[in-house]
Structure 1
Amino acid sequence: MTCSYSNQPTKNAQVQDWVVSSPVFQAAGLEWNDIAQEEWCRLANLLIDRWNLDPNLPETNIRVHQLYMPIFFWLRKICERSSPPIVGISCPQGGGKTTLTFAMQFLFEQLHRKCAVASIDDFYLTRKEQQALFERERNPLLEFRGNPGTHDVELGVKVLSQLKYGKANERVAIPRYNKAAWNGLGDRFPVEEWQQVECPVDVVLLEGWCLGFQPIEDEEHQLIDRRLVAINRHLKAYQKWYDMLDGWLVIEIEDLDWIYEWRAQAEDMLRMQNKGAMTAEQVRDFVSRFMPTYQQYLFPFYRNEGP
């Protein structure tokens, strides 16, 4: 389906049926008659061209018209209520968060507006701080980056506040994390290599795999793994991030085993780029360190529909 509007009512109705049948469109509370439909199609076609997608493939239409475009128009609605809003995007590792944020940035750029993106990965502890954390706690779930407790929450609060309240021409430095450093164990890039964003921005997206997870109150009876006592304790600090958010986008998955496959694919891409990457055995071990956290917090988070 090529998205284009004309004076042909039948063709326009087909486009409309395709879009409004999207669960994302419905969940976003959008109304087709309230949308500038020619603008929808123009932006969708620009995105398809930018990524060299085949507009005749069903998967292209699902990806663009039923996922990215509804999310974009939903974000525009939020921008009308709060300026600039900070929106949390919660999705397990490998679920497409980064690609989604690239698409949102591109679409906002077409309207001469600015979408700033940060990941909780940007706020990982440095390698030295990570090693010190493990030395203190001796918890295998905190040996490597990833689980709650391995992020610098205060640094995240500082950067998000700067992005939200930054004055015109003020520049905000967003940390960058080098996952390929130390043979895939990772480390934070030097400050001079951080991403520079010029304010003001129109919207801020904060994405993360465990964003929104809530600590368990009754640890004694509800924690499935005693190693999660430390994770549960560290999770309490993440409420500082949640309190800053003006909206949530939660992408749900059905099977946790998908994460192993997605992570292996990501490492294969690093390897093809001649960057440091984990072996298959290392990937299995690495992802397994996240699984107790997923098993404890992910599906309750889905049921509660956010913090």
Structure 2
Amino acid sequence: MTKALVTGGTGFIGQHLVSALVARDRKVRVLDRRPPVCATPGVEYVSGSVLDSTLVDQALRDADEVYHLAGLPGMWLPDKNDFHAVNFKGTEIVIAAARKRGVARFLHCSTESILFSPTSSQHDASERSLLPPEQMPGVYTRSKMLAEQSATRAAAEGFPLVIGTPTMPIGPHDHNLTPPTAMLRQFLHGRIQMYLDFIVNMVDVRDVATGLILTMERGQIGHRYILGGESISLKRILKLMTTISGHHTLAIPVPGRIAEMAAGMLEFVADHITHTPPSGTAEGVRIALRATELSIEKAQKELGYAPRPIEPALRDTIAYLLSKPDPS
């Protein structure tokens, strides 16, 4: 029986990945700081951080393959240095330990938020070198780009590593509210919403889990596979949400520059006064302003990746959010 270690396995994508692995008769061990909201039977849960190199090494014992999902997904933290520590240094620690242990296969889970190519070609975003870390929109994306560079270097040195890049996953059981779900909740419960219209690529989180397994099993070493769904405008998403939920929100589009300034002010208040996550960040707006359609053709052709339409996942997400207390 194949033994898999999943770092970050109690997170949104992680919990669905763990369930999918168990369904495929994998023996699974999870390393995560957070305990599972609902533990999967037969799965071993190890509590701890990827920054603990001794614990990481112990968690890797007998592992045949590693799915490295652990990271900080939000775009605001009281201490911005945590992004660099967990997303970049944590990745280096896990890769180094896995190489020392000689695992047969390693998957690094990246993010579409760093896919800004020097040209506008969709092909470039999945195949060629991207913008350097110093040209990323902020501290979160910089840390994720540095992590991907570490993964790419390891693969170039012969380590059997592949890269899976989810776009914006949605679906049920997002207990900690990742940025896409938090954005949907904000629009779902608000009466008047200012929004920046941009192209988003949303995907069912269950398809992401399947796609990560396909990437592990069939992906070429050192290659990146974009695991997305439909590219759709945020304006269209808001209309679908109104139709599905019956909740009518007055949605007012705003120019990018104004959105960035407003988010910057919200972030300043969060940093210096409230010390709680703001409803938007300047980095998030900069990512949106650079967003373009992403192609999943490579994953479809090489992996057999076949994501479902996004509307059913949107319905599931809305049903899940409506089952929770109104944040207001």
Q: TM-score, normalised by structure 2?
A: 0.32
Structure number with greater Rg is: 1
